[in-house]
Chains A and B, each alone.
Chain A
Amino acid sequence: MSVINLVSLVIAGVSLLLAAVMMLLVLWQDSRNLNNVFAGLFTLTTVLWFFGSLIARVSSYIDAPSTLIELGVRLSEGGFTGACATLYLLAVILTGGQGRFFLRTALVCGVVVFGYQIILAYFASGPLYSQIESGTLSYNYGPIWSVLYGFFAVAAIFVMWQQRRKVADLLLRVGVWLFAIGVLIELISPQLRNRSISFDFCAPGVLLVCYAMVRTQIIQPLVGRESQLKGFRDVGLAITSRLRLDEVLKTIATQAADMLQADGAAIFLNNGQSLELAAVHNMPERFVGQQLALGEGLVGQVAVERKVSQLEDYHRDWRGLPDMQYAKEVFGAVVAVPLVFGEDVMGVLFVVESPQGKRFDREDVRLLEMLGPQAAVAITNSRLFEKQQELDRLKNQMIRMTSHDLKNPLFSAMSHIELLQEEGENILTEEMKSDIQTTWIQLQRMNRIIRGILDLERVQSGTPAYEEANVTEMIELAVSELIDQARNSEIEIKIDLPPHLPNIIGDRHYLIQAIANLVENAIKFTSKGGTITVSAEQVDQLVIVHVADTGVGIPPDAQARIFERFFRAYHPGMEQVSGTGLGLSLVKAVTDAHGGRIWLDSKVGQGTIFHVALPISGPNETQIVSRSSS
């Protein structure tokens, strides 16, 4: 055994040891992955082959008993057979070319081949090898075996070449090819001595394969995590920054496909009974709208099972109903991810590759799994948004209908009462006149309620008309509207204003109504003999209007809700007070529209003071520009 021979053997041994360690790492990381299992077997058999060969040579070199040499040769032979077979199987698995019965067939073949070898070992006659000189053995494979090994090697090279798009990692391909070349060299020269040359190819080949696996499965995910997270964040932002459902769906499909560099993506939405294809990326738009029953197709199955499902080759592996038209013809690798929000499966994200396209690895699937909940939230969001818009539209429509359908009969009734009052002036009895007056008051009340709803709608939808408004005048007008009502309740209204108040920019009509609402509210909740004081002052660039009463006061827990629409605080003993619960909402809406602020101080049993602060310059300029048309 020459020194060069020895050195190459040592290098091969170290390479294989390294490869074995790497393989252990990969298997420890994920031992269920078929790729890893076969790469593991491949490494193991190669190591066996090497050590068998090593034992045989060393034994021969030190003139050990022939049984030891024989054992080494047997081990080496078995290892070599296994390595050749697993090389081919690994190539097939890496390219995703395995058929449905692949595992079973491989297992049966393995059992047959190794069984045959064991039987040979026991019953074979004649020497397995001949010793040419000390440490150099000559050994022959049977012709059938040679053909078989050759076939495995050539087939592995061919498969790896033909399906090279599916094996993204160049090192993996080079590793397999190196090993196959080593095997062919081994077959060309039958002498065991020359096997060390084949190890010069095979050992680096195995090392490359193992390193490639470590790289793709362990190193790359770690190194790429930062950029992956950033990419993922961008995707999340893109998805959640849309509000219209169709845009959201389209964005999810596009982003998912881009993130995985996949050929296409589709989103199916769950409508309760079935799944509807709602958005596609890189697929014919005419498929949109297609239905798939829950449980049908891979997508339907994923929706029911709520678990990610992945196929390496849709055409080969999927036995159920096709998910889409021509799916069997045009889909290669596919991943389907359920979009789950809370308890509900909102839909399924379906990412596909063409049959020649790449395969999805664990990282790809993991990314999609992470994207799933985000997408589900985005979908839920936009659905809620659309629902809310629909509700808004309905609300506006209802308000319009209310205005028309109620105002016409109201106007008609009011007009006839007025006519009756005029024409019956000299005919009607006092009692009749009083009845008519009551009817009139009730109709007025109805009118106020309707107007309150409409005004609130109008202020909130932002169409006040701004002009320069005199605060003193507005307060006096508002109070004059209610002076009779106050007098009837035996309540005194005081106005306490400084001589000079600046004019403010605002909508006179609404401001007067807001002040009137505050005063009216005070009248309602103040008992006989009470006092209401309306005052105002300038504080910096604000005019603050105060409406104080000596009424029942507002309990603290009601204070927070008092500006809500239709909210009416409960006041013991004041149940008879009528109202719509709209008055203060309008005050709040008007104040908000003017860029102002409203707050209150109240003590139960002592009274309430409402404060409304309005900026003298009105709402800020941008608001005015958007609100005035000329």
Chain B
Amino acid sequence: MKILIVDDEQAIRDALGRKLRREGFDVFLAGNGIDGLRVFHSERPDLVILDIIMPEMDGLTVCQRIREIAETPIMMLSAQAIREEDIVQGLNAGADEYLVKPVRLNEFTARVRALLRRSQVATPESSVGYNDGYLSIDLQRRHVYVAGNKIHLTPTEFKLLVVLMENAGRVVTQRELLEQVWGHEYVDDIYYPRVYISQLRRKVEPDAANPTYILTEHRIGYRFEKRASS
């Protein structure tokens, strides 16, 4: 497994690299965004870890550039998260995960593993997909179609959609979502569902402002509503 770490602080790069190497990963290091993109293109890593504030090109831009061409899981690792908006911004740029420095190395590797797990294991417990004529989900091939067009979902978005769809008609609480989509390490990261749901709505709903598939149950969670096939 190849992991790319992009951080302008050499000491941090080294420590994270050493830790991950000892855990058995192939690690590539880059000191700024442009180098990071270059290494990404040549090595095609399985996971990218991005610092946000960096000279030349910041992490959010790097994240967007990678998202344009690949669905590789991306973990933002920043000292910058003060407010929810900062985290939302990172996730909106296409990141799958947002970790705030400082973080314990063991937690960091646990998150890396969870993220890899999430993106690699296709989990169609039931192989029954979903198709109502407008929205169609192909669990086998992990493809989603909206009005006949194939859309791109990140691994996390796909998993979120699948979990909601499998529980259609029932309210899935934030906690359940966090556990099932992200993993039990994440139950306190209650921003994730909110941000991802809005991202997902933008991609699959006919009108993201007035959702018809993914409905909010105020203060409890979310509910997927199937539609009669047309």
Residues of A at the B interface (CB closer than 8 Å) are 399-400, 403-404, 407-412, 414-416, 418-419, 422, 447, 454, 457-458, 461, 463, 465-468, 505, 508-509, 628-630
Contacts beyond the supplied A403-B79, A409-B9, A418-B19: 15 A-B pairs with Cβ under 8 Å: A399-B82, A400-B82, A407-B101, A408-B101, A410-B101, A412-B15, A415-B15, A415-B105, A419-B19, A447-B102, A461-B83, A468-B219, A468-B220, A629-B194, A630-B198
State in angstroms the CA–CA spacing of A458 and B102 once bound together: 17
Is the C-beta of B11 less than 8 angstroms from some C-beta in chain A?
yes
State in angstroms the CA–CA spacing of A536 and B209 once bound together: 41
Chain A residues near B79: list those with CB within 8 A: 403-404, 407-408, 411
State in angstroms the CA–CA spacing of A630 and B219 once bound together: 10
A404 engages B53 (CB within 8 Å): yes
Closest to A629 in B: B194
Closest to A457 in B: B82
Closest to A396 in B: B82
A465 engages B190 (CB within 8 Å): yes
State in angstroms the CA–CA spacing of A468 and B219 once bound together: 7
A407 engages B190 (CB within 8 Å): no
Q: What are the interface flags for B73-111 relative to A under an 8 Å C-beta threshold, 1 for contact and 0 otherwise? A: 000000110111100100000000000011111100000
A505 engages B105 (CB within 8 Å): no
B174 engages A467 (CB within 8 Å): yes
B12 engages A415 (CB within 8 Å): yes
A411 engages B12 (CB within 8 Å): yes
State in angstroms the CA–CA spacing of A217 and B216 once bound together: 72
Is the C-beta of B197 less than 8 angstroms from some C-beta in chain A?
yes
Residue among B105, B188, B191 making CB contact with A419, cutoff 8 Å: B105
Chain B residues near A422: list those with CB within 8 A: 22
A463 engages B101 (CB within 8 Å): no
Residues of B at the A interface (CB closer than 8 Å) are 9, 11-12, 15-16, 18-19, 22, 53, 79-80, 82-85, 88, 101-106, 174, 188, 190-191, 194, 197-198, 216, 219-220
State in angstroms the CA–CA spacing of A467 and B19 once bound together: 36
Chain B residues near A509: list those with CB within 8 A: 188
A412 engages B11 (CB within 8 Å): yes
Closest to A405 in B: B79
Chain A residues near B83: list those with CB within 8 A: 458, 461, 463
Closest to A630 in B: B194
The residue in B15, B102, B197 that gathers the most chain A C-beta atoms within 10 A of its C-beta is: B102
A400 engages B219 (CB within 8 Å): no
State in angstroms the CA–CA spacing of A461 and B190 once bound together: 19
State in angstroms the CA–CA spacing of A513 and B82 once bound together: 16
Chain B residues near A409: list those with CB within 8 A: 9, 11
A630 engages B216 (CB within 8 Å): yes
A463 engages B9 (CB within 8 Å): no
Chain B residues near A505: list those with CB within 8 A: 219
Closest to B174 in A: A467
29 residue pairs from A and B, CB less than 8 Å apart: A400-B82, A403-B80, A403-B82, A407-B102, A408-B9, A408-B12, A408-B79, A409-B9, A411-B103, A412-B11, A412-B15, A414-B102, A415-B15, A415-B16, A415-B19, A415-B105, A416-B15, A418-B19, A418-B104, A418-B105, A418-B106, A422-B22, A447-B102, A463-B83, A465-B190, A508-B190, A509-B188, A628-B194, A629-B88
Chain A residues near B80: list those with CB within 8 A: 400, 403-404
The residue in A407, A409, A411, A457 that gathers the most chain B C-beta atoms within 10 A of its C-beta is: A411
A412 engages B104 (CB within 8 Å): no
Chain A residues near B88: list those with CB within 8 A: 629
State in angstroms the CA–CA spacing of A411 and B9 once bound together: 10
Closest 8 CB pairs of A and B: A407-B79, A415-B15, A411-B102, A412-B11, A411-B101, A418-B105, A404-B79, A412-B12
State in angstroms the CA–CA spacing of A380 and B9 once bound together: 46
Closest to A505 in B: B219
B54 CB to closest chain A CB (Å) equals 11
State in angstroms the CA–CA spacing of A411 and B101 once bound together: 6
B105 CB to closest chain A CB (Å) equals 5
A467 engages B219 (CB within 8 Å): yes
Chain A residues near B82: list those with CB within 8 A: 399-400, 403, 454, 457-458
Chain A residues near B11: list those with CB within 8 A: 409, 412, 415-416
B9 engages A412 (CB within 8 Å): yes
Closest to A466 in B: B219
Known: A411-B79, A466-B219. A508 touches B197 (CB 8 A): no
Chain B residues near A403: list those with CB within 8 A: 79-80, 82
B175 CB to closest chain A CB (Å) equals 9
Closest to B16 in A: A415
State in angstroms the CA–CA spacing of A465 and B192 once bound together: 12
Closest to B193 in A: A630
State in angstroms the CA–CA spacing of A343 and B197 once bound together: 60
Chain A residues near B191: list those with CB within 8 A: 465
State in angstroms the CA–CA spacing of A447 and B102 once bound together: 8
The residue in B82, B85, B104, B190 that gathers the most chain A C-beta atoms within 10 A of its C-beta is: B82
A394 CB to closest chain B CB (Å) equals 15
Closest to A399 in B: B82
Closest to B7 in A: A408
State in angstroms the CA–CA spacing of A407 and B79 once bound together: 6
State in angstroms the CA–CA spacing of A422 and B198 once bound together: 41
Closest to A416 in B: B15
State in angstroms the CA–CA spacing of A114 and B65 once bound together: 101
Chain A residues near B188: list those with CB within 8 A: 508-509
Chain A residues near B16: list those with CB within 8 A: 415
B41 CB to closest chain A CB (Å) equals 27
State in angstroms the CA–CA spacing of A612 and B164 once bound together: 38
Closest to A410 in B: B102
A427 CB to closest chain B CB (Å) equals 15
Closest to B187 in A: A508
Closest to B103 in A: A411
State in angstroms the CA–CA spacing of A422 and B22 once bound together: 11
B13 CB to closest chain A CB (Å) equals 9
B215 CB to closest chain A CB (Å) equals 11
State in angstroms the CA–CA spacing of A270 and B102 once bound together: 49
B74 CB to closest chain A CB (Å) equals 19
Chain B residues near A465: list those with CB within 8 A: 84, 190-191
A509 CB to closest chain B CB (Å) equals 6
State in angstroms the CA–CA spacing of A392 and B49 once bound together: 33
State in angstroms the CA–CA spacing of A468 and B15 once bound together: 38
State in angstroms the CA–CA spacing of A447 and B100 once bound together: 12
State in angstroms the CA–CA spacing of A403 and B80 once bound together: 6
Chain B residues near A508: list those with CB within 8 A: 188, 190
B7 CB to closest chain A CB (Å) equals 9
